[in-house]
Structure 1
Amino acid sequence: MVDDTPIVVVGLMGAGKTSVSRLLGKRLDRPVRDSDEYLRERYGATAAEIAEREGTEVLHAREVEHLRAGLAERPAPIIAAASSVLDDPGARADLKPALVVWLDATPEFVAEKIAAKPYRPRFGMEPLALATELHERRAASFEEVADLRFERPAVSKHEVARAVLDHLSRREP
């Protein structure tokens, strides 16, 4: 049943995961679980702060923890997942029962978002270099798990949400 299927929105930081997840949550009357909010609420720190203070491995483990908690939750939420979860083969396998929506944002678009928000980790890199490296490193994993793919910013957040809702309506019995 569609209501029992978690929807996981993936993409690089700044691709619009939180906004799309909130649009879907509102339209589907489902809870939204956002990685950035989870980190702030549970650990009292942003992703950038955790990466700086405790290291990238700790940050990424907590982001996988967020994904798994959301996937286990009922009613099934909309999950805005950190892209780092795709580096973990077990987390990728955990996504199989979910509807995975990939916001495939251009590195230039992502770089603007990274530069504009201090809570986004930069891992010691300039925004465009970081966005390009992350896109190249994770594109195959996004492709592996995605049920739906949308190119951002060519497709707006509202258009993505409408397309996901259309997809879900076609899956209904």
Structure 2
Amino acid sequence: MTADVPIVVIGLMGAGKTSVSRLLSKALGRPMRDSDEYLEERYGATAAEIAAGEGAEVLHAREAAHLLDSLAERPAPVIAAAASVLDDPRCRTELKPALVVWLDATPEFLAEKIMARSHRPRFGKEPLELASELHERRAASFTEVADLRFQRPEMSKHEVARAVLDHLEATGAGG
């Protein structure tokens, strides 16, 4: 792996993708692309607002487009990708050359994070129900694409970033 390979941080909402991606971006001197920030800048709405106003399909299509565009950028960025991108076969295919870092977390941990921030869509469900359903639905896809997997909150965001940087150093792919 070389510095021109994107690093993609995946996980369910609330797992810490944005924070870990920021830490990696800063340490590696790479640009960062974040799905939530992209939605707000491009469409003037949060993921929750898009889901409520235009529907989950529109939200997920925009999240997939963000990932695909970001993967094509050079220099290769660090990308905090929405979990929904794994529902799109094109995205799973395009992730193959990237270093994919999965932040796995229990539904209970994620539910607390979902409740804490209004920008996260709930799709008409209670946070624990939503987190449990999404974890069950997407775990196989995360396993399919992930090169590295870290348990949150057992590992802090800083510990995860350090482990990724150590991996990159060990493989000569730092950047």
The TM-score bracket by the shorter chain reads over 0.9
Separation in 1, partners of 2:11, 2:126: 19
Identity of aligned residues (%): 77
Deviations 1:100-142 (A, max 9, x none): 0000011011000000001100000000000000000000000
1:130 matched to which residue of 2? 130
Secondary structure of 1:125's aligned partner: coil
Separation in 2, partners of 1:105, 1:86: 17
Separation in 1, partners of 2:142, 2:119: 23
Separation in 2, partners of 1:105, 1:43: 29
TM-score (norm 2): 0.97
1:82 matched to which residue of 2? 82
Separation in 2, partners of 1:107, 1:155: 16
* Residue type of the alignment partner of 1:78: V
How well do the aligned residues superpose, as a CA RMSD in angstroms? 0.8
Give matches, 1:18-167, under 5 Å: 18-167=18-167
Q: How far has the Cα of 1:2 moved from its partner? A: 2.0
Secondary structure of 2:3's aligned partner: helix
- Unpaired runs of 5+ in structure 1? none
Secondary structure of 1:22's aligned partner: helix
- Unpaired runs of 5+ in structure 2? none
* Residue type of the alignment partner of 2:69: A
1:171 matched to which residue of 2? 171
Deviations 1:47-82 (A, max 9, x none): 000001111000000000110111000000000000
1:14 matched to which residue of 2? 14
4+ residue stretches of structure 1 with deviation over 3 A? Answer: none
Separation in 1, partners of 2:172, 2:150: 22
Count of aligned residue pairs for this structure pair: 173
Deviations 1:13-52 (A, max 9, x none): 0000000000000000011100000000001000000001
Secondary structure of 2:144's aligned partner: helix
